[in-house]
Chains A and B, each alone.
Chain A
Amino acid sequence: MVRVLINVPKKAHRGEVIEIKVLISHPMESGQRRNEMGQPIPRDIIHSFRCTYNNQVVLEAELFPAVAANPFLSFFAVAEDTGTIVFAFTDDHGTEQVERAAIVIE
């Protein structure tokens, strides 16, 4: 489990465009570096990220080693109904982590 900071407005009006910001605490080891013994350091990155709003896709991202350590993503969703925004991402070990944020439509 890695630490994830999620920034989603708690409340929104119906049809409002909201900004979603996600910061995942992860080294994103590129696989291009070598350690002090000259051995390549194996790649360890988050390679896929998916954000859904009430099961509808907001963003599906495929990430490569060129994404900086502690990947940050900012994107926009359209607020339609009260519900949950789900963030799921997978790293090179195949571990999937899921985070959730609630949003209320007023």
Chain B
Amino acid sequence: MKRRGFLIVAGSLVPAIWAPARATPAEVAQAIKSVIGSTVPKPGRLKLDVPVLVENGNAVALSASIDALPGEVRAIHVFAEGNPLPRIGSFRFGPATGRPRIATRIRLATSQTVIAIAEMTDGTCYSDSVDLLVTLAACLE
């Protein structure tokens, strides 16, 4: 094998071996579709709050709130498109909910986009996403 050929082949293998397991875009789309169906989320109203620069992917503070009355919001769903499994959590509200906001701590396997989708009681959806950098990934070993 010529040196050039070898480098091309070797170069193409390295990412396949070293890249952390992450869901494919199709799996992410499928995960979102399984939750909200074919509704296309609109931008606005929902605010996803995650740090843009994450030092430790094992515990990342995340909060999502939507500018709406509690009775107008059915649920907030959160997805991580670069994790091995794209779903993070689904939070459904009820009659005793005081404010449509949730906060939790999540794991992030790599630098990626985190997506939040709010499902309203009238069937519409709003989404927000944050692109972030992870310096220490949640350990997979």
Contacts and interface: CB of A to CB of B under 8 A. Distances in A.
A53 interface: yes
B30 to A, nearest CB: 14
Interface residues of A, number: 33
Contacts of A57: 92-97
Interface in A1-50: 17-18, 30, 32-34
**B interface, over-half SS:** strand
B97 A76 contact: yes
A64 B78 CA distance: 10
A17 to B, nearest CB: 4
Contacts of B36: none
B102 A73 contact: yes
Q: Which of A30, A68, A69, A80 has the most CB of B within 10 A?
A: A68
Given A34-B141, A75-B101, A76-B101, A60 B96 contact: no
A64 B106 CA distance: 10
Interface stretch (B10-18, B40-48, B79-87, B120-128): B79-87
Interface residues of B, number: 35
A81 to B, nearest CB: 10
Contact of A74 (B70, B92, B103, B141): B103
Given A63-B89, A66-B85, A68-B60, A75 B94 contact: no
Contacts of B96: 52-54, 56-58, 77-78, 80
A22 to B, nearest CB: 10
Interface in B35-71: 58-60, 63, 70
24 contacts: A32-B140, A34-B141, A57-B93, A58-B93, A58-B94, A58-B96, A60-B93, A61-B91, A61-B102, A64-B88, A66-B107, A67-B88, A67-B89, A67-B104, A68-B58, A68-B104, A68-B105, A68-B106, A69-B58, A74-B104, A75-B99, A75-B102, A76-B99, A77-B96
Q: Nearest 7 A-B pairs (CB), nearest first?
A: A57-B94, A17-B98, A76-B98, A76-B99, A78-B98, A56-B96, A74-B103
Interface of B: 21, 58-60, 63, 70, 80, 83-85, 87-99, 101-108, 138-141
